[in-house]
Amino acid sequence: MSIRRWSLLLLGLMAWMPRPVSSQELTKEAIQEFNVLNRLVAQKVKAEAKQPKPPEFLKPLVNAELSFVHRVCEPTDEQMKAIVESAQEAFDEMGDLLFNNARVAQLPRFHGLNGETLNANPIRRIRDDTLDFLPLLLTEKQFQKYKQESSQRERIEREAATDYLVTLLDSKVVLTDVQQRKLRTVFLSEWLDLDVEWIGNYANNPNFVPVIPSNLLRKVLNTDQQAAWATFQQVSMGVMIGQSPERFLEKEWLP
């Protein structure tokens, strides 16, 4: 809950409390209740002050998602203003992505330009946050349009990552047409964490190949092909956020 909301709650509770007229006892009680409420707010502010600041390098990702919403949903100016405010509140809470970053286990790993390691996929986080607050700010028709276009976007991204992997494997171990089709199906249906940003690293670094789950490869590759694939330098590269301008950015909604 933001500090602004706590302040409004405090003012509301103060307005609800009975106003003492002349009794010193009531005046003392009112002061004590005010001090209690004030300490609660102070504790909340102190707790929030300990939270790490949201990583600034994620702001372009938020702005890119806001541009996507603006383009797809065609909100009114008032709607867009409320959407940007909600996105700002969600961004302000993204400092938790820096918690326990030394023990990050998920693959791929996401990093900032200054060596920060995030404990989750920030693109997925931003899209999930947007999906949470949009229903409150859009018409049902607008929201359904966002869901439809967002789902299509993710399908295109996963297919692009899958097609690159199949092409890469074919160039290394020579696949039959049937194997290519089977691998594509296996990757799309069973590799749920396959990420297009992660795969893009290997397109720019041809000396390395990605670590592909062996249980998926065994379903399609023969023994000789698996052995050939094992000879290549497999590296799980991290995703560097903020290394290049974000795509489809209309404007900097969050300054």
Higher per-residue confidence, 19 vs 185: 185
* Domain count of the fold of the chain: 3
Claim to verify: residue 99 and residue 173 sit in the same structural domain: no
76 found inside a domain: yes
106 found inside a domain: yes
Claim to verify: residue 111 and residue 33 sit in the same structural domain: no
226 found inside a domain: yes
Q: Which strands form 110-111's sheet, in the order they lie side by side?
A: 117-118, 110-111, 239-240
Residues 6 or more apart whose Cβ sits within 8 Å of residue 194 = 158, 161, 162, 165, 187
247 found inside a domain: no
Using CA atoms, how far apart are residues 98 and 119, in angstroms rounded to an integer?
Answer: 6
Higher per-residue confidence, 34 vs 155: 155
Using CA atoms, how far apart are residues 205 and 198, in angstroms rounded to an integer?
Answer: 12
pLDDT tier at 241 (50, 70, 90 boundaries)?
A: confident
- The pLDDT of residue 170 is above 90: yes
> What integer pLDDT is reported at residue 10 of this predicted model?
46
At residue 184, the 3 state secondary structure works out as helix
Claim to verify: residue 32 and residue 104 sit in the same structural domain: no
Q: Mind listing the pLDDT tens digit for each residue in 27-36?
A: 556 555 655 6
Claim to verify: residue 143 and residue 61 sit in the same structural domain: yes
Range of the domain at 93: 56-148
Q: Are 183 and 207 in contact (CB under 8 A)?
A: no
Using CA atoms, how far apart are residues 219 and 157, in angstroms rounded to an integer?
Answer: 23
pLDDT tier at 148 (50, 70, 90 boundaries)?
A: very high
- The pLDDT of residue 228 is above 80: yes
Average pLDDT over residues 33-59: 67
